[in-house]
Structure formats: structure tokens, C-alpha cells
Structure 1
């Protein structure tokens, strides 16, 4: 049986797993049967994988009550594609759970200083929630004042910005995730998968995390990672410019929304295709569609004549592997590597010595 490429990014040489990069075991509060996990998004633009992968996988694990939130009523626009309607607003959640969440998942958002989002983060921290910043959700945690004096990490691209905006934070690289007290932060987009398994381990133990990992094709969710290889070089900028400028080669791919769709699988392959600078991804359905774990997906169009988005993978790890391989076959290796870099993901091509890049700062 082939080893999923997703495993490659977790077994490369990097520092050993520090004890303080384990989330502390969950301690039951308020006589709850299960912990409450809130995943919050900002309506104008929230990162697709950062939001849907933790929601989908934590719901699949069945070890917590997982609630998808938006900062206000109305559609929640995900970037780079798809639109959903969250299960509740932050105000509704606070009325339903006045004692707060046990875990708060904060994805990357376009407006990291959104007042509603920052107020909600501060409120949940005050109630004792463990804060989990996925990718550059760390910027919102920083804006909310939750990183002073802490160790943290984020997407490779934002390193310089993070250093400038939050100098009191100790920025740690070469980690898929970093834990400091009740704050967990992760590196780039694809880190949502191992970080989610780390949350499952904290709540229900390593055995349950391994079961979920087996189901999605991920055997190792340690924080091992080599962020030094990720940066945009001249080739990447040329690929972006060439793909963007050649508008006659652009295409729209259709995602036919089906009831019961797997949120994590859909997010991973859609996110990859939508980052090629060649592709627009559009969702089609006759009306709103309910996903596997109760999210409402809103179509962009009712009917589409566009080419269906390639791929039939049914597990999270296979979905990302399959998408990047298909992008390479369709648009060329340079575009596949560009997509992988944005996702801070390591297909085998990027692990070769000749493909390594060691610029750790913002381009």
C-alpha cells in the first residue's frame, strides 16, 4: 500500500517533539458530558481549510460538541472558494453557552482586527477556553492580546509581519504546531490536519486520535516540520505572473454540492485547485445543501456547464495528494509546487535537495 504524501511532511528531519508541544489533557468543566468546541469565522473572508477541516474532523471524531460560528448573521464567505451558513453567530453561541467553549478554533481571516472576532476571542479566553489558532488565525490571537510572552508559530509567509506586529511573542519555526499553556498555534494551511488530531488526543487520548488518523490516512500527527524550505522564489513569481496573465487559459471548475458531503475532503481539494492562478472554483446545486455534519453550503449557481473539479478521493490525506498531483498534470509542475508552497505542504518533489529553499522570511 502506498504511503500518502501527507505522511512525508511529518517524518522529515526536524527538532524532537518537545513535551510542551502536547496539549494538556482535557479536564471536564461545568458537568458537561462532552467538551464544547467552537470554530469561528469572520463573514467577509475566512480561510477554507482552516475552518472546515477542524470542524469536519472534530465532528467525525465524535468526542465533543462542535459548533460552527460566524461573527454575524448571513453567509460566511470562505477563501479562496465556497460559501456556507454557520450554525450560529457568536452572540447566539454566548447566549446558549454562557460559560463559554472548552476549545476555540480560530482560522485565518482577511480582517484579523475585526472587532466582533477579537471581542469573542477575549471573552472565550476569559472563560478558560483553550485557544487554537490555525495558520494565520494566529494574527487574530495576537490582535486579541493572547500571545504576549508566549511561544507561537504561523504560516511561513507571514513571518516578517508577525515579528513586526507582535515583538513580545517568541516566534518558533520548524513546527507544525506550538503549544504554550492554553494557546496552540499552527504553521501553514495543511497543518490543520495534524493539529486537529492533536486536539482529539488531548480530549480522548492517543488511541482515539490514531483511529481517526487511520480513517483519514494520517498515522503521525506530531509537530515535526521543516518550514525552512518554504518561500516564493523567482520561479514562483514567474509562475504566478504567467498563470494570471494568460487569461485565455483560465478555466472554471464546478463543484456539484451533494447532501452529506465530507467537509474536510471538499475543503482540501477545493483549496488546492483554487490557488493555481489558473482556476476559479464554483459550487453548483439547486439550493442550499446540508453537509455530513450539519453545515449549510450555499451554491454559487444552480446549474453549471463548467468542467467538474477532478478527483474522487474520499479521505483527507488522499484528497490533498490527489489534487496537487492532478494540478501538476493539468498545469505543470511549477504550478503544483506553487500550490503546495501556499498550503505549506510537502509533496515529494519539494523534499528533494535540489528543490529546497532556505529563505525563512517573507518574500
Structure 2
């Protein structure tokens, strides 16, 4: 028994650190690390893209650049359009040594050759590659998952296992770290992964300060991913909400300069997943977000009701949005949205 206790004492600290990102080591004489967030123009997941960009920019611990694979707007899913700060080609010309961290969101076209070539090229230059949600599929198509540990959204588990059978797929983890490869579970995992990145770059005290600021005290990898599923009730809710077109509504988000990217993304994403709601951005023209992204208005939205809720902190906004969805559309719809976001309702 004494020997067993000794083994546990020695191993528990190692287990606790198993999913910790490697501390940042400066390269190329940079005073701060260079973080790139890349999206594919045709359709990129809103939270996966805006949350890491917004929280890392807010922390002030890195130079953060938002990229698109091609010129022109990024169409986000399930809502909004933005102009990135540079294309991948412009980034490579400006930073030939590459990024220190590359954040890869879920995209509709995971095998896009421009995107996969950029991801594999940045990995070859020594960047830590961070796949958010099913951004892991992009990593797979880029050839980065062979014999590696990884995770992704619960909904894609069977597809991932079929498409990339030599990957060691993990469950019950918010994020999985395998050297310079980091992957995460469903959409809402973008928040804890971002804090884990801040901790790796600037230490635990900085991450704790940011966590307090945004209303999140725990960004550990612990997660009960196997508890998420639509079940019969979820599929019935999806079908009834989608087919009852006479109950669908358009909600308008007023674009204002200085909107916080993380709060904006989490709030809009939740409401736009109800299968009852289309969220459109209203405004007289493009506006700049808090950290310099260009938000683009949609078609005219006069006469449409405003998106409910307020500008809650990033760590609290999903609770507020899900409560609003339950009040407006019923608890079944709120549960359906939470399952899509892989978010444990409080």
C-alpha cells in the first residue's frame, strides 16, 4: 500500500500537467509571440474565430493577427460577416519566419487547399497549431494528426474516427495537448483554450487576472463530453423548429464601434443556432470591433426586433443567452442550442 501511495504521489502531478501547454519560448528576437487566427472565406465558425482573437488581444500578451485565405469578406457561421486584417499570402510575405501560434477554427471546407497548405507550412516553421472544435478536421487534412492525440466536437466523433483512424481520439477533455498540437472539444471550448494560451504565454497570474475580468475561474481540460447528445428530444426540437417556418423570426444586431469580439460571437452564435432565428447585422456601414476587426452590415433590417440580451462578459454571456432563448422559445430549444455549443448549462 505504501508503494502504491508513493507511485500515486509521483504520478498525480504529471497527470495534472498532461494537458498543459508548453510555456512560450521567444523566437526570432520577438518581444511578444505572434498569434495568427485563420479563417476560410466561404464559411468559418464565428466563436472559434472571434473568441481567441478577442481574448488574446484583450490580454495584451501577444501580437494577434486575423487572417483570411483569400481577399474579401469572411462569411461566418451561423451568422455575421467580417473583413480580416490580412490574407494568408500577405501574412507569409510580412512574416516569413511564421507565427508562434496558429489558431484554426472549424470551417465548412476543411480540405480547402489554400488553408491546409498554410496550416502545414506554419507547422513546419515551428508554430504551435491550435485546432478549435472541428478545426481539427483541417489539421487532419493538413497531415498533422498521424499517430497524435486529439479531440473535437462530440457530433463529429464517428466521422473523425473514420476519416483519421490513426489518430488517438480522446473524450472527456475540453482540450488535448500533444506537444505543439492543441485541439479542443465543441464550440464553447474556445474560451478555456484561449485562457490556456494566455497562461502558456504569460503565466498563471496573467491568465487568472483575465479569467476574473471575463467571469471565468476554471479553464482546466476537465469536461464530460460524453454527456452531450441531441437524443430524440433534440432531433424533434430541431425538426419542429425548422419546419415551423411561420414561427421563424429575424433578429437585428446593431453594429457599434468597439464591440467586444468574444461577447459578440458567443451571444450571436447561441441565438442563431435555435433553428427559429436568423441574426442579421444592422448599420450604415462597416464598423471596427474592440481590437480592430471590421464588422460588416447585412441587408437592410428595418422593422426587425433587436437581438435580446445585453453585453455580458464573455464568461457569462452564454448563460444569459440560453436563459433568453428558453424564455422566448422554450427550454427544449435552449437545451438543443447548448448541446450544439457543447456547453454545460448552469
Shorter-chain TM-score: what band? over 0.9
Partner of 2:11: none
> CA 1:313–1:67 in structure 2 vs 1: closer, same or farther (change >3 Å)?
same
- Partner residue in 2 for 1:344: 342
TM-aligned CA distance change 1:237 to 1:202, over 3 Å: same
How far is 1:305 from its partner?
1.7
**Distance in 2, Cα, partners of 1:125 & 1:195:** 19
Contact 1:311 1:323 in 2 (8 A): yes
Offset from partner CA, 1:82-119 (integer Å, 9 cap, x none): 00000000000000000000000000000000000000
Compare relative contact order (CA 8 Å, sep 6+) and give the higher one, 1 or 2. Answer: 1
Select which of 84, 98, 101 maps to 1:100.
98
Question: Is the CA contact 2:38–2:67 (under 8 Å) kept in the aligned structure 1?
Answer: yes
Instruction: Tell me the equivalent position of 2:278.
Output: 280
Partner of 1:257: 255
* Alignment gaps of 5+ in structure 1: 1-15, 349-363
Superposed, 1:1-20 pairs within 5 Å as: 18-20=16-18
For residues 240-270 of structure 1, give each alpha carbon's deviation from its aligned partner in whole angstroms, at most 9, with x where no partner exists: 1111111111100000000011010010010
Could you tell me how far apart the structure 2 residues matched to 1:198 and 1:334 are? 32
In the other structure, the counterpart of 2:37 is 39
- SS of 1:145 mapped into structure 2: coil
The offset of 1:318, in angstroms, is: 1.7
> Would you say the 8 A contact 1:287–1:302 is kept in 2?
no
Match of 2:307 in 1: 309
Instruction: Give the C-alpha shift of residue 17 in structure 1.
Output: 5.6
Determine if contact 2:274/2:337 at 8 Å carries over to the other structure: yes
Q: Distance in 2 between matches of 1:336 and 1:197?
A: 26
Report the CA distance between 1:231 and its aligned residue: 1.0
Shift of 1:313: 3.2
Q: Give the TM-score normalised by structure 2.
A: 0.95
- Correspondence list, 1:109-258, <5 A: 109-258=107-256
**CA distance in structure 2 between the partners assigned to 1:184 and 1:122 by the alignment:** 14
Aligned residues: CA RMSD: 1.0
Runs of 4+ in 1 over 6 A off after TM superposition: none
> Unmatched 5+ residue regions in structure 2?
1-13
1:53 counterpart residue number: 51
1:30 to 9, 28, 31: 28
Aligned 8 A contact 2:92 2:98 in 1:
yes
- 1:319 corresponds in structure 2 to 317
Whether the 8 Å contact between 2:187 and 2:342 is mirrored in structure 1 is yes
Residue 303 of structure 1 and its aligned partner are, at CA, apart by 5.0
